[in-house]
Amino acid sequence: MPVAVITGASKGLGRALAAGLARQGWDLVLGARTGAVLRESAREAGAHGTRVVAVPGDVTDPGHRAALAAAAGELGGLDLLVSNASALGAEPLVRLAELPVAGLRAALETNTVAALGLVREALPLLRRSAAASVVVVSSDAAAEAYPGWGGYGASKAALDQLAAVLAVEEPWLRVWSVDPGDMRTDLYAAAVPDDDDPRPEPESVVPGFLALLARRPVSGRYTAPALLETR
C-alpha cells in the first residue's frame, strides 16, 4: 500500500483528504496538535480498512516532525507528504499596521519553516519511493492582495517559492503547491468570524487532489477547482 503523511489532519481539509486517500487504499500517518480530535480523524479514515497512525504534536517541533517520518518508515516507507497545517498569525485577522511581529513569526514558523523541516525529515524515505510526491497547501492569499491577509499570505507565498525551488533541486520528485479555494473551515471562521457567507465543504475539493495524484502532472502551482475541471 502507498503511504502518506498529512499534517493538520484533525479537521477541515486535512481530515477530508485523509478519508479520501484511505478510500483509495492509502496507509496514513496523521499529525495535528489536538490529540483527541486527531484520533477521531484517524478512526474515520481507518474505517476504510487501511492502516492509520495518529501522531499528536505541533509541526513546528522538530521532534514531532521526526516522529511523523519515523511512523511512515514503520508503515514501510513514504510516497506522499502533504503539508496542510496552517496558522493565521492573528485571530481574527488584522491589517498589517496592527499585526504583531510575533504573529507573523508564528505564521511563518508553521506555514513555511515547519513545512521545509518536514520535507528534510521525509526526503530519505521519499527517495526510496517509485512515485514520490509532496503537496503543500497554499492559498489565493499567496498571490492576491487581500486586506487583513498580509501575514498569512506572505507565509503561503514563501511556501510556494520553497516548493518551486524544491522541484528544481529534486527533479525526481513531484512537488505541487495547491490552492484549494474558499472552504468552510475552522481556520476561515477564526480569520473572519463575522463572515457568514456560504462556502463549500472541504470534502468538495478532495477529488481535485486525488486527480492530481492520479495524473501526476509536472511540478507546479495548481488550484483545486481547476483540477476538478480537468479530471
164: amino acid identity, one letter = A
Concatenated DSSP letters of 84-110: -----SSSS---GGG--HHHHHHHHII
Task: Examine the pLDDT at 24 and tell me if it is beyond 70.
Answer: yes
pLDDT band at 228; cut points 50, 70, 90? confident
Partners of residue 52 on adjacent β-strands? 28
The residue whose grid cell reads 513546528 is 60
Tens-digit pLDDT profile for residues 175-211: 999 999 999 999 999 999 999 899 999 999 999 999 9
What DSSP state is assigned to residue 17? H
69-105 pLDDT tens trace: 999 999 999 999 999 999 999 999 999 999 999 999 9
Residues 6+ apart with CB under 8 A from 144: 153
Summarised one tens digit per residue, pLDDT across range 117-163 is: 999 999 999 999 999 999 999 999 999 999 999 999 999 999 999 99
Residues whose CB is less than 8 angstroms from the CB of residue 102 and which lie 6 or more positions away in sequence, other chains included:
none
Q: What is the pLDDT of residue 196?
A: 86
For residues 181 and 150, give the distance between their C-alpha atoms in angstroms, rounded to a whole number: 17
Quick one: the chain helix, strand, coil %, rounded to 5? 50, 15, 35
